[in-house]
Structures are given as structure tokens and as C-alpha cells.
Amino acid sequence: MQIRTVATTPFTDQKPGTSGLRKRVPTFLQAHYLENFVQSIFDTISVPQGATLVLGGDGRYYNREAIQIILKMAAASGFTRVLVGRGGILSTPAASCLIRKYRTHGGIILSASHNPGGPDGDFGIKFNTENGGPAPEKITEAIFAASKKISQYHIADSADVELDRTGDYEIGEMTVSVIDPVEAYAELMESLFDFAAIRTLLKGGFRIKFDAMHAVTGPYAREIFVNRLGAPSTRYWRSQPFAGEGAMRPRHGAAEPTGAGVAASADSVMNAIPLPDFGGGHPDPNLTYAHELVEILYGDNAPDFGAASDGDGDRNMILGKHFFITPSDSLAILAANAHLVPGYQQGLAGIARSMPTSAAADRVAKALGIPCYETPTGWKFFGNLMDAGKVTLCGEESFGTGSDHIREKDGLWAVLFWLNILAVRRQSVEAITREHWAQYGRNVYSRHDYEDIPSDAANGVMKLLHDSFAELQGAQFGHLQVKLCDDFSYTDPVDGSVSTGQGVRIIFTDGSRIVFRLSGTGTGGATLRIYLESYEPDISKHHLDAQQSLATLIGIALQISELRKRTRRERPTVIT
């Protein structure tokens, strides 16, 4: 094997965000762009002798080409073995599972998560460390520093690897093991949940609908829900996923469901073919972008349970018949019912939630006598807590929940957790939720996203808020009085690291709050998010629509931020 050393010059924009480096596909297609960042990763992590790497992605456009480049660079950088998902595919939770199971020297995941794909869409790359979780800030900062001074990268001259057939292949002295992307993850799920109870529930006529959004979880959902749990399916699929250009095709020429009429059929999994452009959709499981599923669950003859996951499989949305569960409530309900699930019957060490997530989980933690940690947004902040044994369940309001079984949020895990609870309690999603509110009170909650607005306008809103702290302190807005204004900072209880500038909080004396934050997951313009929360202990008001209950807070948020004037947006892009 010949190793080439290629001269290069740095790019100035390779600073990883909360989930790695995300850019438009044309940016990654620039000469040396991907190679520079990959070499910066390898230079930073100091590959030890005999090291193994996990590699895979969500199947979006440029996934397969990028994998071939990374394999050749891994061989040139001294890796002994790379585990790569067949077809170049691994969901993010499955990649974390493999890193932990095989104790590898981390992994590279190719994904832009819930962002759109295709030739003009988004692409992303991130490094996960040996614990299976996203690299902490000290490593991502070191990768960025290396990218700013890189002058060369190393790559093996080798033929491409056959990604669509499992088996071992050689690139010089490095072995590439193409593995089933689903098997290890499915086995882990079966070890945590009562599959027999869920099978009985489904055989008894309980109907589910899972929307894979033409993203990575389609084959995972088929294997787990249909093959292992016996959920109804009207279509027959090849046993080998991700053939050809990252897409499975149905047998016998059967077409993938399109449109609510077909999708509302007896098939339990919809949009299950992973496509490089996600079928032209936006693979973000919320009420706006998963509208096809929402229409089914709110329609006539609706299934009993609905769920969706995102591009790389780490997010989830949970729906009951004509009923939506906020991610904040979902985390709290999972925690309150964890004793019903085999993998968590030993009890919870603690719960962690991101700062913008509602305090519903805090109330459950208090009742259970366990700690609840409030962290910045970004799953990497949960990793230290889980590694130290301080928490078992974690969640973010951005449709991410998970536990210490891996070190990533996990969409299908959350769906199975809900199905396990439903199989034991034999109540509807709505009934379980309303009983939870009756016991703990309802944290009425909503998030308003203003996507792709000019960065200067978004930064202007945040500067105005910072400059208004003194004026807002103690201010009266009708019956609400401001108790505290600050920019959230976090001191990690495990390693003492400090993270600042994590979001502007305006907290009122009655516990209500408004949070403003710029998202770190987009690639174009800026996404400004407003989080709104109030606590309602009165059960007679639990039926009210969240937007109705939060109307006063919404008005205050728009007033003090001057958002409409500064962004020229009359309404949010997405409301959840």
C-alpha cells in the first residue's frame, strides 16, 4: 500500500458546533475540505497502535463517497481495523452502541442529524470518543485548532471498499469489517425492554404507526417493530438493507407509501426507504415537518400510538390518538414509569435535562428522591454525568431522550420505552399523560423557532436582551414580575469545566420563564429559539391548549425582544 502525503492549506470555517461540523454539501465538495477536517481529527486523537474505529452515517447525499475517503485516510493514519455499517450506514445511536460494545478508539459519524439532505442540502461529520459520546469541547477545540494550521494530510492509494456486502476487506495492513448496521443495536434494545409484553400488546389489536421520514431508522424499525415484535406490515423487504446508493427497495415492485391515504394502511412503518435526499422532506420529527404522521394520528380511524425519528435516528416524537406529547413531558413520564421497564427496574441514579427543557422532570426526580441536573444544550454534557454514574435518564426539549445504555440520544429507544409502558399499564397515551399531570402538575411548555433569519438580526435580538438585564430585573408585566435575568452558565460537577453564554433566561416570581437561544445545529442564516414555560397545578385547566395558556408569556417575549421588528418575521417557522 502506498501512502500519499498531500499538501493543503487551512479553511477558516471548520469549527465544530454542538454536534460536529455541519455545512452545505457544496462546501464539503471543495477540494481537500473533508480531508483537512478528518486529518485534524486523527492528528488530535493520537491514534494508538492496534486501534479500531467505528464509521458510518445516515445515508444522506455524499455519505458513501466520504466513507471511502475516510477509510483510506484511516489506513494511512495507523488504524488496524474499521467497523463500517453495510452500505456505509449506521444510525447515531447504533454507532455509539458499537463503540461501547467493541471498546473502539471512538468513531466518526457522518450526519447533519435533522437537517435536510440532497445535493444542495446539508452534510456533517463528528467524532465520538471511546465512551460512545460526542467529543467534549476540549477535543473539538483542539480539532479546530489543528484545522487552522494544517499543511498536509495522508491518504492511502487503494481501490474503494465494497460497502454493500458484509465481510472483511483489506486496505494495506488495515482490515475493514463491513457489518450489519442493525443487529448489535437491536440486540441491545431486546436486553432493555420486555419484548414479549410488547408483542402481546400488538397482537391484541393495539395499532402503531412509525414514520422513518425516509431516513436511517427505516431498516431498524422494520427489524425491531415488524420482525422482532410482530407489528403488522403489508410489504416485503429484502433482508439486506441499504443496497446500491444507500436506499432499500421493496420486493415485487411494491411502492413505498406516499400520501396520507396509502400511509394510513395497515403497515406499521411508513417512509421506510432511506434516501440520500430524504425523499425531498425535512427529517425533523416535529409537528411541522412530520405533518403526514400528524394527519394520520389526528385523523379518522387513527392508530393508538404514533412516533417518528429524524435523519440519523437520535430524535423522537411521540403521539397518541389525537394527542401530542412534548419532549419535556415525555422525559418526565419515562422517568416516573421506569420501574415498569426491565432495564431500569433497579432504579434511577438521577435525571439530567438541558436548560431549555421544562422542569417537569425535576418534579419526578424530587418525588423519587434522586438528583436532577440542568445542563447546557448538547448531548456531550450528559456524558460526564453518565460516566460518573450520576444519572440514568437524560433529555432535551429538542425531541431527544436517552439513557446510560449508550452516550447519544436515541429515538427508537424512546419509542420502545413508551411501548413497554403502554404494554404494562394498558392505558392510552393520553390517559397516562393526564394521570401524570394530575399527580405532578402540568408544566405547560412550547418552543417557537424562527429559522434561517439573517445572522445580524438574530445577534441584534440577543444583544438587546443582554443590554436590558438591568431594566428587566424586577419589571412588572401585568400579574407577572421578573425575578431573574441572566445568561445561563454551567459548571460541570464532574470535571469542573465551565460553559458560559448558553441562553438568556427571564424567570418570573411564579416560576414561569422565557428563554432565548441561538441554535448551533443549522448551516444557513441563524435559528432563534424562544422557549416558554409556566406551571399549572389546577387539574381543571390541564385540558387547555398550550399556546392559549402561554399567550401572556408569548406577548412578553415578543415585546422585550423586538423580534418582529428586528427580524421582519410575523410568526415562527415551527411551533412545538
Q: Taking residues 231-248, what's their average pLDDT?
A: 51
- Contact in structure between 288 and 538 (CB atoms under 8 Å): no
**pLDDT of res. 309:** 97
Q: Are residues 471 and 332 part of one domain?
A: no
High-pLDDT (> 90) share of the chain, %? 87
Cβ atoms within 10 Å, residue 573 = 14
**pLDDT of res. 378:** 82
Characterize the bridge pairing of strands 167-171 and 174-179: antiparallel
Q: Are residues 449 and 306 part of one domain?
A: no
Q: Are residues 206 and 120 part of one domain?
A: no
- Contact in structure between 500 and 489 (CB atoms under 8 Å): yes
Residue 14: strand, helix, or coil: coil
Parent domain of 300? 185-440
Characterize the bridge pairing of strands 393-396 and 351-354: parallel
238 band by pLDDT with thresholds 50, 70 and 90:
very low
Residue 352 has pLDDT above 80, yes or no: yes
Q: Are residues 228 and 376 part of one domain?
A: yes
Rounded Cα distance, 559 and 315, in Å: 32
**pLDDT of res. 234:** 73
Residue 373 has pLDDT above 60, yes or no: yes
List the CATH number of the domain containing 448: 3.30.310.50
Residue 262 has pLDDT above 60, yes or no: no
Rounded Cα distance, 455 and 125, in Å: 23
Q: What does each C-alpha distance from 576 to 16, 147, 324, 562 come to in angstroms?
A: 27, 37, 10, 21
Q: Taking residues 358-381, what's their average pLDDT?
A: 95
Residue 266 has pLDDT above 90, yes or no: no
215 band by pLDDT with thresholds 50, 70 and 90:
very high
Rounded Cα distance, 321 and 293, in Å: 11
Q: Are residues 171 and 189 part of one domain?
A: no
Q: Are residues 497 and 383 part of one domain?
A: no
Greatest alpha-carbon pair distance for the chain in Å reads 74
Residue 60: strand, helix, or coil: coil
- Contact in structure between 64 and 88 (CB atoms under 8 Å): yes
Lowest mean pLDDT, pick from 228-237, 356-365, 376-385, 394-403: 228-237
Residue 161 has pLDDT above 50, yes or no: yes
Residues assigned a catalytic role: 113
**Average per-residue pLDDT for the chain:** 92
Select from 440, 471, 500 the last residue of a domain: 440
**pLDDT of res. 48:** 92
Convert 419-436 into a string of H (helix), E (strand) and C (coil): HHHHHHHCCCHHHHHHHH
Residue 219: strand, helix, or coil: helix
Q: Taking residues 416-436, what's their average pLDDT?
A: 98
Q: Taking residues 426-443, what's their average pLDDT?
A: 98
235 band by pLDDT with thresholds 50, 70 and 90:
low
Residue 567 has pLDDT above 60, yes or no: yes
Select from 154, 181, 208 the last residue of a domain: 181
Q: What does each C-alpha distance from 486 to 500, 507, 514, 541 come to in angstroms?
A: 11, 9, 11, 30
Q: Are residues 320 and 406 part of one domain?
A: yes
Lowest mean pLDDT, pick from 53-67, 254-268, 273-287, 502-516: 254-268
Rounded Cα distance, 41 and 113, in Å: 20
**pLDDT of res. 241:** 43
Would you report the helix, strand and coil content of the chain in percent, each value rounded to 5?
35, 25, 40
In total, the chain counts a number of residues equal to 576
**pLDDT of res. 259:** 36
Which residue's entry shows cell 425531498? Answer: 280
Q: Are residues 407 and 507 part of one domain?
A: no
Residue 484 has pLDDT above 70, yes or no: yes
Residue 175 identity = T
**pLDDT of res. 380:** 82
Confidence (pTM): 0.91
- Contact in structure between 409 and 310 (CB atoms under 8 Å): no
**pLDDT of res. 524:** 59
For the chain, how many helices (H) and strands (E)?
A: 20, 27
**pLDDT of res. 574:** 86
Select from 155, 181, 207 the last residue of a domain: 181
Q: Taking residues 407-416, what's their average pLDDT?
A: 97
**pLDDT of res. 47:** 93
Residue 245 has pLDDT above 50, yes or no: no
Q: Are residues 467 and 407 part of one domain?
A: no
**Which of the two residues, 237 and 50, has the higher pLDDT score?**
50
Lowest mean pLDDT, pick from 247-251, 452-456, 521-525, 560-564: 247-251
**pLDDT of res. 521:** 53
Q: Are residues 106 and 81 part of one domain?
A: yes
Q: Are residues 393 and 521 part of one domain?
A: no
List the CATH number of the domain containing 124: 3.40.120.10
**β strands within 386-519, DSSP E:** 393-396, 400-403, 442-453, 476-477, 480-487, 490-491, 498-499, 504-508, 513-518
Residue 256 has pLDDT above 80, yes or no: no
Rounded Cα distance, 412 and 430, in Å: 20
Q: Are residues 166 and 92 part of one domain?
A: yes
Residue 331: strand, helix, or coil: helix
Residue 157: strand, helix, or coil: strand
Domain count, the chain: 3
- Contact in structure between 62 and 91 (CB atoms under 8 Å): no
